[in-house]
Structure 1
């Protein structure tokens, strides 16, 4: 049986997608930040595909790639800077560079909030940092009634230094949020929510070193696996979460008024 843990090819494929330009439509371009959405070939007018693929790129001139990488890994710090987060915690360690965790987030009203259980894996090659995740089924963390269980097909970050205190920072998400989402929600995610979150990440990078000096400065289990206090887990206990096995929630009727308002 093949291992669920991603191999070299998965990281190489993710990097390739981060740097690709074909079939991406730019939706936002301001202050060194761009946001694109993927345009699949031959899309019908007004058709919103179930899988939403979005890519955000920031040119960061005042924070090192290594610091931005630490920010993304540091679960304690995330509670300080992530405006969308409801709850987040690591569940278990799968290998030296992989774990499984839970994350839930706020969605624009009246859309229901979402959550995911994901396998996260990371890699540093030469001077490039890559973190990827995808949804898995965990025997103890089934979907709840209060939240819609979304599916990360492939989501992650690619960070490359451009100098000692500067970097290119790319976030790419390929996800099925489940539910028949109206067009305005998808548009708002790409043009307003994504840039706002990216700005928060950048500010978090600027503030991280000072914060970390006061909060377990020597604890970085993502760099030093021996420091991890997570219980080990056999990856074979997990399986990939397929989108079609989850309930599809129709949320279009709740927001028809908003839809017409936002698309006018």
Structure 2
């Protein structure tokens, strides 16, 4: 999200995000295998801003289940192997909140984290969840973790049938660092497709898991269930990349460890 003040996305913002998810001109396809397609834009060694788009056709998961899985923070802690810590900070409206997420980066890169304003909207039988980085005085950058910037990141889920959907993930991110070539290459050929596969596997197991973990609690569908404190927009400001640490990791060699390629 551009601009100088924190705003909650309106219908035009969601429509713009959807259009960019569907638009392929200006994107370079880097991977197309097993029902997963990956495009990149400006994904080059030494560049500070990266754009990647992934699309997965899921023939065994409903759009509703996919939407629940991407929202359910308790379940994410179980299936997302890259998560270090994630929690909701507070709510803004019935369909917008602020949260923290930190994740493991490939060794020997330093791990990253973000504070984001997340918003979501069902559009007919489709769904959009999107976010952008904000600053909150109570959650400054942590020592040892690089604070990244989500310029705009999110998911679009499109219903294709009763148990059939398409998931598009689009990320426009400044990782605050010059990344090595092997990370740039692997992000589109291995990391992104692997992450999409893990989401699909998580969806297949969600119903059984949810039955044992507060099955009726879905505040993203029923906002009256939320227990989050309200946050005034005045407590937030736009996270400017130039105010954050920028590190050069471009010369780091890849750690010799077995990669998860499921």
TM-score class, shorter = over 0.9
Aligned partner of 2:67 in structure 1 is 69
1:20-63 CA-to-partner distances (Å, cap 9, x unmatched) read: 110111111111111110149xxxxx654321000010001011
State how far apart, in whole Å, the 1-side matches of 2:254 and 2:76 are: 34
SS in 2 for 1:253: coil
Q: Pick from 2, 9, 12: which aligns with 1:9? A: 12
CA distance in 2, matches of 1:24, 1:48: 19
Q: 1:255 & 1:28 partners in 2: Cα distance?
A: 24
Which structure features the higher share of helix residues? 1
Q: Which residue of 1 aligns with 2:172?
A: 174
* Aligned residue in 2 for 1:198: 196
Equivalent in the alignment of 1:253: 251
Q: How many residues align?
A: 253
2:45 and 2:180 in contact (8 A); partners too: no
Deviation at 1:2, TM superposition (A): 6.1
Q: Secondary structure at the match of 2:8?
A: coil
Inter-partner Cα distance in structure 1 for 2:111 and 2:14: 29
Question: Which residue, 99, 109, 112 being the options, matches 2:110?
Answer: 112
| Pair 1:20-2:18 in alignment | no
Which runs of at least 4 in structure 1 moved beyond 6 Å after TM superposition?
A: none
| TM-score, normalised with respect to structure 2 | 0.92
How much has 1:236 moved relative to structure 2?
2.0
Match of 1:34 in 2: 37
Q: Which one of 93, 99, 102 corresponds to residue 100 of structure 2?
A: 102
- Would the alpha carbon gap of residues 143 and 39 (structure 1) be closer, same or farther in structure 2, given more than 3 Å must change? closer
- Cα shift at 1:244: 1.2
**TM-score w.r.t. length of structure 1:** 0.92
Alignment of 1:34-53 (within 5 A): 34-39=37-42, 48-53=46-51
Note the residue ranges of structure 1 that are not aligned, 5 or more in a row.
41-45, 259-264
- CA–CA distance in 2 between the matches of 1:204 and 1:257? 27
- What is residue 230 of structure 1 aligned with on the other side? 228
In 2, distance between residues paired with 1:158 and 1:36?
15
Q: CA deviation at 1:3?
A: 5.4
Further displaced range: 236-245 or 103-112: 236-245
Unaligned segments of structure 2, at least 5 residues: 257-262
Aligned-pair CA distance for 1:257: 10
